[in-house]
Structure formats: C-alpha cells, structure tokens
Amino acid sequence: MIVAPVLRLCGITKRFGSLVANDAISLSLNRGEVVALLGENGAGKTTLMNILFGHYVADAGTVEVMGQPLPPGHPRAALAAGVGMVHQHFTLADNLTVLDNILLGTRPLWRPGLRKAVARARVQALSQDFGLSVHPDARVGTLSVGERQRVEILKALYRDARILILDEPTAVLTPQETEALFRTLRLAVGRGLSIIFISHKLHEVMGVADRAVVLRHGRVVGEVATADTDRHALAALMVGEEVVPPKVAPPTPGPVLLRLDDVTTAQAGTATGLRRVTLDLRAGTITGLAGVSGNGQAALSDLVSGVIRPQAGRLHIAGAPVTHWTPREAVGAGIARIPEDRHSTGTIADFTLTENAILEGYRSRFAKGGWMNWRAARAFAEGIIRTYDVRCPGPDTRIRLLSGGNMQKLILGRVLEPGPRIILANQPVRGLDIGAITYVHSRLLQARDAGAAVLLISEDLDEIMALSDSIHVISEGRLSPGFARGTMTQQQLGLWMAGHGFADAA
Amino acid sequence: MRLEPIANPSVLRRLGLPASALLATIAVASGLAAVAGADPLATLGLIVKGAAGSRFAALETLNRATPLIFTGLAVAVAFRARLWNIGAEAQLYAGAIMAVLLGTGALPGAVALPAMALAAMVAGALVLLGPVLLKTRFGVDEVVTTLLFNFIMLLFVSYLLEGPLKDPMGMGWPKSAALAKEARLPRIVDGLRLHWGFGLALIAALTVWVIERRTAFGYEMRAVGLNPRAARFAGVPVNAVLVKTALLSGGLAALAGFSEVAGLKGHLTLDLSPGFGYTGIVVAMLALLNPLAVVPAALFVAGVFVGADSMSRAAGVPTYIADMLLASSLLFMVLAILLVRFRVVRG
C-alpha cells in the first residue's frame, strides 16, 4: 500500500547573499513516522524548518502538507495546516500561566470570555494522553526547562498539530527529562502524528527516529533508515569523515597554578554558593567537575572568572594569594574563560567578530593611550578566523549571524591565543555539533599538553570521563575529593552526584 | 504580520524609504494646513521659505540648530551606553548659569570664554553625576531622576533670577545681568547673525564621533550599551564607563546653555530654552544616535521650527503645525529606517 506523505518538501533552495543555506533539498514525512534531521551547525537545518514554517520564503521549491501546497511566507497557514514547531529557544511569556500561554494567540483579542473551563479541560486531557504532566495554572516563570518544553508541545497539540517539529529538543534536558520526552513522542506517533526531530545527538536519533536525513553544507547527503545504519556511519555522513574519539596521552602534571583554599561564596538568590571548597588545578592536567545542574557549578565558574569573590577562604594563583579579584584581574592572571552562555555572556551579538575578538584584551593589547588600534584588532580577528576555522563572511560580520559552533570557535581563539596558563571551560560544547565538539576538545587537550591547567565543567558525564585526568563531583556546593582517571565508574560518580559520600552529608 | 530581516537592502530601499517618509510627513502637514483653512502647498512653501528661503532665514535656522546639536549629542552619547538621560534640559541650564556667573564678572577677556565653557561643562556633568551614581550604586532608575531634575533646575533658575543673579538694572524683570562684551561668542562672519556656538557644535559632533569610533572609551561605551552582562564578564568596568558617559553627556548638554547665553541672548532668562533638552531626544533618535547624523537631524528640526514660525505669521496657521510635523516625521522616519532592514511578511 502506498500512503501519500503528510509532508513533502520539494527542491527547497534558499540563498542568503552568496551563501546557499539550502540547496534543492527534498524531504518527505509519512504519517506516524519520526524523521531525524541531522547535520552540523550551519548545515541548513534551521533554515529549512523556518521555510517550512513560513518564517522564510524559499527562493525555489514547494512545501506540501497533506497533499496541499502551502503558500510561502505564511506561518499561520502552516499552523492551520497542522504543523507545530517547538523552538530551541522557547517562545513563552514568563509571567503568564501555562494555560494562558497555551491560549495566547488562539482566539481574537476582542472576543469576550475565553471560556477557560473548556480550554482547561482540553489541556488536561492532552497532557494526560501524551504524558505531558504540567500544572495548567502554574506561572511559566517558575517552571523548569523540561516543563517549559512540555508547555510548548502542549501548545502545538492544542492547536491540533498533526506534524510536530522539534528543534534540538534535548539540548536543554536532563537524561530523565529526555526519556520522558521520548515517551511522549512515541505516544504521539501512536496517535498518528508525524514528527521531525532535529538533533545532532546520534544516540538519540538512533533511539527515537525511524529514518534520518543528513544535511551537509545545505544539501541532503544521505537518507537512511535507522535500522540499517549505526552511529559511526551517521557521524561520518554528517561531518564527511569518520569521527575519532580524542586520544588522550598520559598527563604530565606540573605545579599547582590555581588553588581554592577553603572557599565559601555567598548564596545568590536561588543559586547555590560554594561551601568550604578546596581545589587544586595543576599545570598539564584537565580537572573535570561533574554534578547535577545547579549545585554550585555557576558559583565556581563565576569565582574563577573573577565575577564573584570568596566570602571566606582564599584564592591562590601560582602560589600567591589573590587580594583584588575582578574579571579584568582574572584575565590579567592568565585565565582563559569560556563562559557557559556564549550568546549572552561570551559575546555581544551586535558587535562584529573583530569587536568581539578583542573584548578581553582591548585595553592591554589593542589600545594605546586610550586610542584603539583597529588595524591590529582586525588582524587579530583574521588570525583567529584562520587558525580556528571560524566559518563566516569576514571579520566585519556581526557575530549574531554565526552559528553556535562558530561563535564558540571565536571565543576559543580569543581566550587561547594569548597562551593562558589556566583555562576555565564551562559547558564548552553544549549545543554544538560533533565536528565542533571534536574540535573544542582537541583544542583543550592541546592546551593541557602545552602545560595549561584546565578546569572542565560539564553536565555530560561522558565528556567529563573522556577528558579529565582527575574528577571532582559537586553537590549542594560541596566538592568531593579528586578521583584519578579510570578509578570511578559512572554509577559511583552518580552516587556522589546525588550527595552520598560527603563528610557533612545531612 | 511579521518582520523578516533583509541581509543586503537594495539602494532603492535605502534611499526610497526615507524619501517616502518625507513625503508622508508632507502629506500629514498638508492635511493639517487644509484643516486650518489654508492652501496646503502654499503653507509648505512658506515653511521651506521661512527655514531656508533667504540668507536671514538660513542663518536663523543654523542658530536654532546650534543648541539642538549639543543636546542631541548629549542624548545620543548617553543612549549609546543605554543611559537614559532625559535631563538635558537641566544640564543646559546648569551650563547657562555658569556662563552668567563667570561672564558677568571681571575675568580677563582672553580667558573668559574658555573658562565659561569649561565651567559650564563641569556643571552639566555634575548635574548628571548624581542620577548616574544613584543608578550604579542603588539601581535607581535614571529616567525618573533625570526627568525630575529638570523641574528642580528650572525652579532653581527661577530662584536665582529673582534673587542672587537678578539684574539690578532689569526694571524688576526676572533676568540676569548682561554678559561682558569679552564674554560674548563672536560672530562667524561680521554682520551676520551666526555665532561661533555653531562652529563649536560642529566640532563637538566630530569629537564625539571620534570618541565613539576610535577610542577605547567609545568601544567600552558601545559594549556596555549593547550587552552590559557580556561587557562586565569580559572585564569592562561597566559602572565606571556609565559614570564617564554621564559626565560627557552632561557636559555636552551644558554647552548648549553656554552657547545660547554667550552666543545669542547675552543674559539668562527662564525661557532661555523652549525645551531644547527634550527636543534633543528627537534629534538623537532621528540621527539613530550617530553623532555625525545629529547635525543634519538638528538642522531639519530647527528648520521646521523656524519655517513654521515664519509661515504662521504669513498664513495664519498655528505654529503647532511644527510640533505635528516633527512628531510625524520622527514616527515615519523611524518606521522607514526599520523597513530598510526588515520586510513585512503577512501571516
């Protein structure tokens, strides 16, 4: 039996200036099917989905939903045809309730009476049917990231979506939340919905998708049933070459470059502070910090970055106690800081690549007597773009136009070029594709082998275990002893992450 | 309807849209003139003629633009760092007070003008220092504090003009004594009513542009305005930058007061500024905060005011049409500039 696809994209082409973001891409989706859209950052996944959803108008090609062509450039038409999108960055109003967020935009403003009782019953029924537990009257601002995502999915379901597009839905989720999401997706497929799942986490794609379509440089380079392939083959398709896990040579530990001596930091709002943390970072080693999100990683990262100061205890750099401590002092002390949020902390979106490249060094290296040396700044940016393979139209491009991976490469170049002695890498590969991940990891290992002391903070235990010479676990602001590479299993670390084993365990 | 960014706007878009904004403004003005019972085209002609139709008119426009360039620069600089200085009016009067204090005294001729200008800038800077320190130390909203300062300053000037600064020869009018001859800004060309305040304003615009584009401070200022969080993380001393920006902004606004007193009026009265501080916001927005564009923006705004004054005398249409013209031109221009970079997509 031949069933017509519910969604068919035909020869979609989209150019931005000289860049061809989508080059004659065709894709079809059948009823009850999960298709994974795979590709590195900048491969054209997001552009394609924006065209499908009417946010962009394609230069060529057609979109058909349930056999009917969609008029280009009309998101409402896509919505009406039953296409729902869950964006990577949520589009919810924090100060409204879950129910209000779902209803928002579904009815004309001037119609009196929202008939909330009916709506609430329907939302509750949907959340029951699809395993999306969330309280309809909770304020969205108080919800966790996982819950917010459920609200986004409910929003799409409430509008009778038959096709769900999820843009990197697991990038923000814990493993448990990811599992719950996959259960929901299976329920949805069971009810005849069709799903496009954008990701670059291959094990998830293998786990949840029936078929994978791989994009590279705006073209479809492969389309395979997940049953007929494996992770390695997919990864090779994505980056165009076989992915090799990093080879880690044995470390050659040197002197202690950064010491936290019995440091306690203030509790900032709901963020956990550090509680009497003692930690040594040695030259030539990578120290991994494992832990469940929100257990003091932010405080440790801010402390090493110079953003906050110890409330009690001391910081020592290369043996000397630190007295005055600000971001500028931290940079001056030779600390390379890769912040957790590259969009809002690491870069200034409307600054050019050049302006972003000198953000830390403008006073010391690119200005003399208060006058900027833009020629030197531009040359520095061009050097980073070359050396770190930042894909961009040029140093005068505003950085907001770059993909996350390329943004991260620029940050890497900015902090690594001066030859730092200490490197703080807070979630350095979150949201990046395989090619970029491999690249960032290899750069960190290179820096280690050149004698830098690296502090790697990550919520991805695999990453921590693969790279770290020594692992500490952080829980409720307390730090575990250091465990040498290979001495702990995932399960053992997991116990520490859950708070077991600490001396002052409550 | 949604906005979709345009990567490379065409020349037609770049020039055509602002031109249509101008046309739309003209249409609104014509409509209003018709409502007032005058011939629309003739009214517009009179405005243009009144603003630039003769040497006298053009010079009048340049004179009127001078304080607007200063206050426009003051606002543009502050807004660039996202410091919402609504108090240019107060800073202007602070500058005017200093000009009168030093200009009526016994300062020797050669140093009188530089001393007055410098003192004016210091005073204007200090007026904005309070609100910016309240902001950086305690998070007090500077929109409120700078706005309220305008009223305090106006009342303070009123007190001065009724008390310590009152002109003993003023026949009871609330005005200060006249400036000494050496304390007056000379005219650029003998016999023409254009004073060096205008030249100073042009220099100020160029200086501010150089500061923004070429100095480390300007870079810091833009960084703080665009993303204070990232700026702070990178090591930019955000609060110090805000304070420095405030000092520059206050100083620029005060030069407007100095230039009006020393260049045009020769003494201080309560109506020295018909809202130059507030109009500076319009000028800065029209110029998209670009210091060089502040000059043509100020000329445009001044031309509308001067032209409408003259038109009103000739055609009997109320001068309020000038305010309407400015307001609609600002709205249309902001819209046009948005549409240069974005296209509207239905749906």
CA A219, CA A42: separation in Å to the nearest integer? 11
Whether A2 is in a domain gets the answer: no
Q: How many domains are there within chain A?
A: 3
Per-residue DSSP letters for A333-360? TTEEEE-S-IIIII--TTSBHHHHHTTT
* Same domain flag for A394 and A430: no
The secondary structure of A66-78, three-state, reads CCEECCCCCHHHH
**For residues A275 and B156, what is the distance between their CA atoms, to the nearest angstrom?**
54
Query: In whole angstroms, what is the distance from residue A439 CA to residue A40 CA?
Result: 13
> What digits encode the pLDDT tens for the residues B332-343?
988 888 888 788
* Residue A194 in this model has a pLDDT that exceeds 50: yes
Q: Which residue from A337, A345, A374 is facing B229, i.e. has the nearest CB?
A: A345
- The verdict on a CB contact (< 8 Å) between A74 and B232 is no
Q: A349 in contact with B at a CB cutoff of 8 Å? A: yes
| Vertex B86 angle, CA B84 and B89, to 5° | 150
Q: pLDDT of A42-56, one tens digit each?
A: 678 888 888 888 888
Q: Which residue has the higher pLDDT, A501 or B151?
A: B151
Size of interface A-B (CB pairs under 8 A): 88
- Top pLDDT among A39 and A40 is at A39
Please state, in angstroms and rounded to a whole number, the distance separating the CA atoms of residues B54 and B89.
31
Q: What is the pLDDT of residue B238?
A: 95
pLDDT tens digits along A310-365: 999 999 999 899 999 999 999 999 999 999 888 889 999 999 999 999 999 998 89
Nearest CA in chain B to A342: B230
Last residue within a domain, chosen from A418, A439, A473: A418
Calculate the CA A341 to chain-centre distance. 9
Q: What is the mean pLDDT of residues B177-184?
A: 86
Answer yes or no: is A162 within a domain: yes
Q: Is residue B15 part of a domain?
A: no
Question: Are A131 and A279 part of one and the same domain?
Answer: no
Q: Are residues A200 and A169 located together in one domain of the fold?
A: yes
Q: Which of B4, B209, B219, B232 to mutate to test the interface with A (most CBs of A within 10 A)?
A: B219
CB-closest option in A17, A347, A362 to B219: A362
Query: Region A88-105: what's the mean pLDDT?
Result: 85
- For the segment A72-94, the average pLDDT, to the nearest whole number, is 84
The percent of residues above 90 in pLDDT, for chain B, comes to 56
Contact criterion met (CB < 8 Å) for B226 and A348: yes
pLDDT of residue B77: 97
Q: Which residues of B touch A17 (CB under 8 A)?
A: 7-8
Nearest to A56 among B4, B226, B231 (CB): B4
Chain B residue with CA closest to A335: the answer is B234
**pLDDT over 90 at A306, yes or no:** yes
Band of pLDDT at residue A1, cut at 50, 70 and 90? very low
Domain membership flag for residue B54:
no
- Read off the pLDDT band of B262 (50, 70, 90): very high
What percentage of chain A exceeds 70 in pLDDT? Answer: 93
| pLDDT at A506 exceeding the cut of 50 | no
Mean per-residue pLDDT, B196-221? 96
Count other C-beta atoms under 10 Å from residue B189's C-beta: 9
Kindly determine whether residue A327 and residue B229, on different chains, have CB atoms separated by under 8 Å.
no
Contact A331 B237 (CB under 8 A): no
Per-residue pLDDT band for A490 (boundaries 50, 70, 90) equals: confident
Task: Please give the Cα distance from A424 to B211 (Å, whole number).
Answer: 34
Pair (A297, A278) in one structural domain: yes
CB of A420 within 8 Å of a chain B CB? The answer is no
| Whole-number Å distance between alpha carbons of A76 and A70 | 10
State what percent of residues in chain B have pLDDT above 70: 98
Using a 10 angstrom Cβ sphere, with 0-12 exposed, 13-18 middle and 19 or more buried, the burial of residue A451 is middle
Report yes or no: B49 at the A interface, CB cutoff 8 Å.
no
Residues 6+ apart with CB under 8 A from A270: none
B269 in any annotated domain = yes
* Angle, CA of B278, B280 and B282, to the nearest 5°: 85
Q: Which of A418, A444, A474 is the last residue of a domain?
A: A418
Mutating which of B210, B224, B233 best tests the A interface, going by the most A Cβ atoms within 10 A? Answer: B233
Same domain, A235 and A254: no
**Residue A112, pLDDT score:** 63
CB A337 within 8 A of CB A331: yes
Inform me whether the pLDDT recorded for B7 exceeds 70: no
The pLDDT value recorded for residue B191 is 74
Query: Among residues A219, A239, A259, which one ends one of the domains?
Result: A239
**Cα–Cα distance measured from residue B37 to residue A41, given in angstroms and rounded to the nearest whole number:** 63
Two structure tokens written together for B68? 């607007």
pLDDT tens, residue by residue, A135-154: 888 888 877 777 888 899 99
How wide is the angle at C-alpha A213 spanned by C-alphas A212 and A217, nearest 5°?
140
**Beta-strand relationship, A194-199 and A34-39:** parallel
Tens digit of pLDDT for each residue in A196-223? 998 877 778 888 899 999 888 788 988 8
Using CA atoms, how far apart are residues A58 and A78, in angstroms rounded to an integer? 14
CB of B233 within 8 Å of a chain A CB? The answer is yes
Which amino acid is located at B211 in the chain?
I
A351 contacts B226? CB cut-off 8 A: yes
Position B94 pLDDT exceeds 90: yes
Determine, yes or no, domain membership for A85: yes
User: Which is more confidently placed, B238 or A271?
Assistant: B238
pLDDT bin (cut points 50, 70, 90) of residue A505 is: very low
The ipTM is 0.86
Q: Which amino acid is at A399?
A: I
Of A397, A403, A395, A349, whose CA–CA distance to A376 is shortest? A395
- Most B-contacting residue of A355, A359, A407, A424 (CB-CB within 10 A), to test interface: A359
More confident site: B241 or B45? B241
The answer to whether residues B329 and B76 touch, using CB atoms and an 8 Å cutoff, is no
A261 and A227 within one domain:
no
**Mean pLDDT of all residues belonging to chain A:** 87
- Lowest-pLDDT range, A66-70, B131-135, B296-300? A66-70
Is residue A104 located within the same domain as residue A129? yes
Query: How confident is the model over A147-180, as pLDDT tens digits?
Result: 888 899 999 999 888 999 998 887 667 667 788 8
Span A282-294, average pLDDT: 89
- Among A137, A201, A154, CA closest to A175: A201
Touching check for A372 and chain B: CB below 8 Å? yes
Angle of the B196-214 helix axis to the B291-315 helix axis, nearest 10: 150
Who among A16, A327, A363 is closest to B232 (CB)?
Answer: A327
CB contact A17 to B (< 8 Å)? yes
Neighboring chain A residues of B8 at a CB cutoff of 8 Å: 17
Chain A residues with CB-CB distance to B219 below 8 A: 355, 362, 367, 372
Give the pLDDT score at A39: 79
Per the CB < 8 A criterion, the answer to whether B298 and B72 are in contact is yes
Nearest Cβ partner for B216 among A74, A330, A363? A363
- A347 CB neighbour count, 10 Å cutoff: 28
Residues B230, A360: C-beta atoms closer than 8 Å: no
Q: What is the CA A494 to chain-centroid distance, rounded?
A: 22
If asked whether residues A146 and A273 sit together in one domain, one would say no
Dist CA B275 CA B257 (whole Å): 12
Band of pLDDT at residue B13, cut at 50, 70 and 90: confident
Which of B10, B82, B210, B227 is the mutation pick for testing A, counting most A CBs within 10 A? B227
Which amino acid is residue B290, in one-letter code?
N
Rounded Cα–Cα distance for residues B347 and B1 (Å): 5
Contact B325, B46 (CB under 8 A): no
Pairwise CB contact (< 8 Å): A372 & B235 = no
The pLDDT score that the predictor gives to residue A240 is 67
Nearest chain B residue to A348 by CA: give it. Answer: B227
HEC string of chain B equals: CEEEECCCCCHHHHHHHHHHHHHHHHHHHHHHHHHCCCCHHHHHHHHHHHHHCCHHHHHHHHHHHHHHHHHHHHHHHHHHCCCCCCCHHHHHHHHHHHHHHHHCCCCCHHHHHHHHHHHHHHHHHHHHHHHHHHHHHHCCCHHHHHHHHHHHHHHHHHHHHHCCCECCCCCCCCEECCCCHHHCCCECCCCCCCEHHHHHHHHHHHHHHHHHHHEHHHHHHHHHHHCHHHHHHHCCCHHHHHHHHHHHHHHHHHHHHHHHHHHHHCCCECCCCCCHHHHHHHHHHHCCCCHHHHHHHHHHHHHHHHHHHHHHHHHCCCCHHHHHHHHHHHHHHHHHHHHHHEEEECC
Phi first, then psi, for residue A194 (nearest 5°) are: -120, 145
Q: Is position B231 within any domain?
A: yes
Q: What's the CATH code of the domain at A491? A: 3.40.50.300
Q: Domain check: are A165 and A311 in the same one?
A: no
CB A420 within 8 A of CB A447: yes
Residue A182's alpha-carbon distances to A151, A185, A353, in angstroms, are 15, 5, 38
Residue ranges making up the domain that contains A383: 347-418
Residue B207 distance to chain A (closest CA, Å): 13
Q: Which residues of A touch B232 (CB under 8 A)?
A: 307, 327
Count other C-beta atoms under 10 Å from residue B1's C-beta.
6
Residue B98 at interface with chain A, using a CB cutoff of 8 Å: no
pLDDT tens per residue across span B48-73: 998 988 888 999 999 999 999 999 99
pLDDT, position B95: 97
**Chain B nearest C-alpha distance from A73 (Å):** 7
Please state whether B9 falls in left (phi above 0), alpha (psi between -120 and 50) or beta: beta
Neighbours of B309 (CB within 10 A): 16
Task: Supply the pLDDT for residue A357.
Answer: 96
Contact B81, B296 (CB under 8 A): no
End-to-end CA distance of chain A: 62
CA distance A470 to A482: 6
Pair (A178, A209) in one structural domain: yes
CA distance B291 to B248: 13
Domain that holds residue B73: 67-288
Least confident of A227-241, A265-279, B151-165, B243-257: A227-241
- A76 and A57 in a common domain: yes
Nearest chain A residue to B10, by CA: A17
In terms of Cβ atoms closer than 10 Å to its own Cβ (0-12, 13-18, 19+), residue A231 is middle
Same-domain check for residues A161 and A271: no
Reported as a pLDDT band with limits 50, 70 and 90, residue B186 is confident
Instruction: Give contacts of A55 with chain B, Cβ < 8 Å.
Output: 2, 4
Q: Using CA atoms, how far apart are residues B329 and B216, in angstroms rounded to an integer?
A: 35
CB of B6 closer than 8 Å to CB of A15: no
Chain A interface includes B7 (CB < 8 A): yes
In a domain, A145, yes or no: yes
Distance from CA of A340 to the nearest CA of B (A): 12
Give the whole-angstrom CA distance, residue A16 versus residue A393.
11
Contact flag B234-A360 (C-beta cutoff 8 Å): yes
Nearest Cα to B90, choosing from B49, B47, B33, B147?
A: B147
Q: Which two tokens stand for residue B86?
A: 């609504």
Q: Looking at the 3D structure of chain B, how many domains does it have?
A: 1
